[in-house]
Structure formats: structure tokens, C-alpha cells
Amino acid sequence: MKLKILFALFVAIFCNGYLHAQSTDKILFHPTFGKSALHLDDSCYTKDSIYFSQLKLYISGVEFLNKDSIVWKEANSYHLLDASDEKSLYILVNSPSDLKFTKIKFNLGIDSITNVSGAMGGDLDPTKGMYWTWQSGYINLKLEGKSKLCKTRNNEFQFHLGGYQNADNALQTIILNVSENKNIDILIDIEKMLAAIDLSEQNQIMSPGKEAVLLSEKFSKIFSIQKQ
């Protein structure tokens, strides 16, 4: 009986120490259009009367680096960000409380191994509307809306970016410098991406290919750390 009590006490002390050694922080993503928060449907952005109806993207493979060495890696790291769902825009991080890091690294999109593993659950569930077929895999990013520049039906633009096979692999890796090891605020500035393309000429991508890869590369450059 005494041994059982001592064992239980040891487990309690160990677990308490472990819990106190962990830190629960957040990585918060902020979709913006320039200096303004990005709102869907009811907000018109004065440049070319742009409206946005949908913005969804996958963030995966989250890691913290100290200089160039990985010091923490998130397990099963797949997150679907949806501009229409505020709760989806932050990632809870359970890392050691004394962890020191200078960079955050993550992927825009889903890696090829996960793509060939077939449809999965959670944020990777096909019912989320971010899965094409087993041949094309996951959609890494969806951006939809309207602009007077688009000579399309209802002036609509649709960008569904993805692809994982060979030259059509649209996955992008993003590394950002951080100055403080606490909550990390990351801006996603859609205005920067639209400034890099001509909506009158390019306003629809709906399948893997060279165009999806090139636009994914441009999209990867619009992430930045919000200055405190």
C-alpha cells in the first residue's frame, strides 16, 4: 500500500512539473488587404471595386528554429485557415516554456506524402471542400471574389491552387524571423498578391499546373510578422 501511495505521489509530482514546463501560446493569422482587415462578401475594397467571397488555405509542418536549427516541431501539423471562421485563424502551440527560437517555418499547402495517403479526417476531411481527387490531391489555397477588372461572368475571379506531382508541386515553404518568443501574429496581405497579377488577364485557376505553381510562389511572399 505504501509503495502504491509513493508511486502515485511520484506520478503527480512528475506530471505537475511537466505541465508547468509547457507553454501554451498562439500563432495568429490575420488576413488583410493592405492596412485593412480582410472581410468577406459585404466589404468593397476601393481599388477596382474588389470583393472577396472566400479565402481558405492550408498551413502545415509548423516548426520553430533557433537560427537554422529546428528546436520544436508540431506533430500532425495540418491547419485549415478560413477567413470566415475566426477560430480557425489561430494555432495553439504547446512547446517548452524555456524554448528559445528566432524563426518560424511552415508550409503553405499539403505535402506530397499526405496527398498520396488518400483523404483523411480533421482539417484534412474532404467535406471541408479542399480536396479534388486522389489524382489531383488537396487544394492548398482558395481565393474567390469579384473585380471590375475581370471580364468574366459576374466579374468573378477564382483561384484554386494545388498540385503535388513532380513539376506541378505547388507546396511552398515560408520562413519568418521572430523577435519575441510568445504569441506570433502573422499578416496575410492579399493586396500584395493581387498587385503581382493582372486580373483582367489572369482570373481563374482551377487545377494543378504551371500557373498554379507560379501563383503559389507569389502567394508565399505575402506573409509577414506583424510589428508590435
Q: Along the chain (228 residues), what's the average pLDDT of each consecutive run of 10 residues? A: 54 48 80 93 76 97 94 95 96 88 96 88 95 94 95 95 96 93 91 92 96 97 91
Q: DSSP E strands: which ranges in the chain?
A: 22-33, 36-37, 51-66, 69-73, 78-82, 90-96, 103-108, 139-146, 156-162, 172-177, 184-189, 204-205, 223-225
Structural domain includes residue 8: no
Side chain identity at residue 129, one-letter code? G
Asked if residue 77 is part of any domain, the answer here is: yes
CA-based torsion, 107, 112, 116, 117: positive or negative: negative
Domains in the chain, number: 1
Residue 228: the pLDDT is: 67
Domain membership of residue 10 (yes or no) is no
Pairing outcome for strands 204-205 and 156-162 = parallel
Q: Are 108 and 65 contacting, i.e. CB atoms less than 8 angstroms apart?
A: no
CA distance 106 to 163: 18
* Residue 11 included in any domain: no
Domain of 38 in residue numbering reads as 24-225
Q: 66 phi and psi, to 5 degrees?
A: -105, 105
pLDDT of residue 18: 45
Contacts of 26 (CB under 8 A, 6+ apart): 90, 91, 92, 93, 183, 184
Whether residue 78 contacts residue 123, with contact meaning beta carbons closer than 8 Å, is answered with yes
Is 107 a member of any domain?
yes
In a domain, 81, yes or no: yes
Full-model pTM = 0.88
Residue identified by cell 468593397 is: 44
Question: CA-CA distance, 212 to 217, in Å (whole number)?
Answer: 9
Q: Is residue 7 part of a domain?
A: no
pLDDT value, residue 19: 45
Give the bridge partners for 131, in sequence order: 138
Asked if the structure places residue 101 within a domain, the reply is yes
